[in-house]
Amino acid sequence: METLEITKEKFLETATQNISGSEAVLKAMIAENVKTIFGYPGGAIMPIYDALYDYQNQLQHILVRHEQGAIHAAQGFARSSGKTGVVFATSGPGATNLVTGLADAMIDSTPLVCITGQVFAHLLGTDAFQETDVINITTPVTKWNYQITDATEIPHVLAKAFYIAKTGRPGPVLIDISKNAQIQKFDYAGYTKCDHIRSYRPKPIIRKEFITEAAKLINEAKKPFVIFGQGVILGKAEKEFKNFIEKGGLPAAWTILGMSAIETNHPLAVGMLGMHGNYGPNVLTNECDVLIAVGMRFDDRVTGRLDKYAKQAKIIHLDIDPSEIDKNVKVTIPVWGDCKETLPLLTQLIEKKEHTNWLNKFHEFTQKEIDVVINAELNPTGDVLTMGEVIKTVNELTNGDAILVSDVGQHQMVTCRYAKFNQTKSNITSGGLGTMGYALPASIGAKFGAPEREVIAIIGDGGFQMTIQELGTVMQSKVDIKILILNNQFLGMVRQWQELFNDRRYSFVDITSPDFVQVAKGYYIDGQRISKRQELKDAVQKMLQHKGSYLLEVMVGKENNVFPMVPQGCSVSEIRLS
């Protein structure tokens, strides 16, 4: 009897079913262990939503208020969970509303699978209602995209989509499915996950001879310096990275997206690189003798003037994407491969060392920065609240264990400068694209991706109004996020540039905002506004202890600037403290 039952089960597994393309889409989601989908229905994707009605016990759908909100939420989900984010949107404006998020995910290497509906295949190219050529529009901002007009393609195309999105250097994939393919019935023989594509090699072959050469350079170095990016987090190589720097006694600085790969108070952590990064890492980039770059792409905000960047140093670059090596900075030794695999090989070959005098030089620069900039920002003597002291209070009350999702602007730079983290995947922000409006929807997704962690969205008064409608998503989904608005009544970063480089000609940066607390209450979200220092700690504590979402608006100085700063067109060693 037992043998007959096994045979029957095997038969049922292999037997074909006559199902619709829409149902095949949902079966693919379940097979890929997708739990949460962010989306917005519409005419061209209605068959998939109709099928979703019967799958609500297996797939959680979060109804956003705008498709851009859906894709930023999926980004936040991917960044906090380490999984692939999933988005559903309709054709035409629904699909084009995803473009900003696709570009953001592409440059920040965020794995997404976006499903867009499309008009019937026979209407393609006729300028039908809500038809756009989404494939050509999104080609530059996706890792791969594909249009399906026949339902039989759905299982294997979606398998490829998930495989491409999450392997190698991750990125967004968009699959456009015509309405007839969604409705079409076909013989479904099951779903097989993809683990190989002949024309696609997600990880380059590791060249052991380059690792040997890199280790030799590191062992001979007197002033070695490690700079690391998000590749460490994406590669799940935090432990391997820490072993590497600790064995070599290597000072290490992070890019914005690399932040939290190691705890910010690690003895070898020397701060943040970049335009508003820390003083020591920027200046000493141009004094080190060996520069080891791990999982970062030498973005212009990190390098400043390329013709004056680390010219004295021999450069080792570890990256999974060969196209990034020698793209901006000419390297001495390329180390292709997944850093989770290459770092242990390198660690085996480097000598156990301590570069005490060299590390102390970073500490000397840190002290100078504390004296000139940090004390004034974190411990101000004036009456006006600073953004830095707000972040300092958040640090103290969360013990560095919260996920901070920052928007784009001065508050983003202040958050990244002063936040303290003990766990990986804790700093979520729009890095390469710098998308205002990112934080509110991304924080929603981040909470679904890491429900056990405190998620705090830190947003400026300008960026908040770009996606303020997603308060409706917070309300309906009952997601528990904390929203911290740092309101300086300006588009602060642009105003800072206009002050420093345009003779204080403040052209259209003075922004008037609504009463954010009252707006939030309209969405049944509690909150308060404060403007006095003596209110700050109790207000942040109240926000953190509140059950459910909460909005805290803090009025900060109108014309406070973020320093240090590397002016555009200058080298990193020309960083200004004031």
Active-site annotation, residues: 67, 129-130, 179, 493
CA dist list (Å): 453 to 80, 85, 86, 176, 474: 10, 18, 21, 34, 17
What is the C-alpha to C-alpha distance for residues 228 and 104, in angstroms, rounded to an integer?
A: 20
Neighbours of 23 (CB within 10 A): 22
Helix, strand, coil percentages (3-state) for the chain, rounded to 5, are: 45, 20, 40
CA dist list (Å): 254 to 157, 428, 431, 551: 37, 14, 13, 30
Which residues are 185's β-sheet partners? 20
Listed residue (94, 80, 99) closest to 435, CA to CA = 99
Radius of gyration for the chain, computed over Cα atoms and rounded to the nearest angstrom: 25
Let me know: does 527 contact 517? Beta carbons within 8 Å.
Answer: yes
CA dist list (Å): 429 to 116, 183, 184, 187, 474: 25, 38, 40, 44, 19
- Asked, as a colleague might, if the bond just before 514 is cis with ω within 30 of 0, I would say no
* 317: helix, strand or coil: strand
Which residues are 318's β-sheet partners? 294, 335
DSSP E strand stretches across 197-251? 224-228
Let me know: does 493 contact 519? Beta carbons within 8 Å.
Answer: no
What residue has token string 């999982």?
295
What is the C-alpha to C-alpha distance for residues 31 and 113, in angstroms, rounded to an integer?
A: 14
What is the C-alpha to C-alpha distance for residues 226 and 101, in angstroms, rounded to an integer?
A: 30
What is the C-alpha to C-alpha distance for residues 238 and 235, in angstroms, rounded to an integer?
A: 8
Listed residue (57, 76, 1, 12) closest to 450, CA to CA = 76
Neighbours of 408 (CB within 10 A): 23
Helix (H), strand (E) at residue 314: strand 314-319
Listed residue (89, 84, 34) closest to 234, CA to CA = 84
Pairing of strands 172-178, 144-148: parallel
Listed residue (430, 290, 375) closest to 577, CA to CA = 375
Residue 131 contacts by C-beta under 8 Å, 6 or more apart in sequence? Answer: 91, 92, 118, 119, 123, 124
What is the C-alpha to C-alpha distance for residues 152 and 157, in angstroms, rounded to an integer?
A: 9
Residue 57 contacts by C-beta under 8 Å, 6 or more apart in sequence? Answer: none
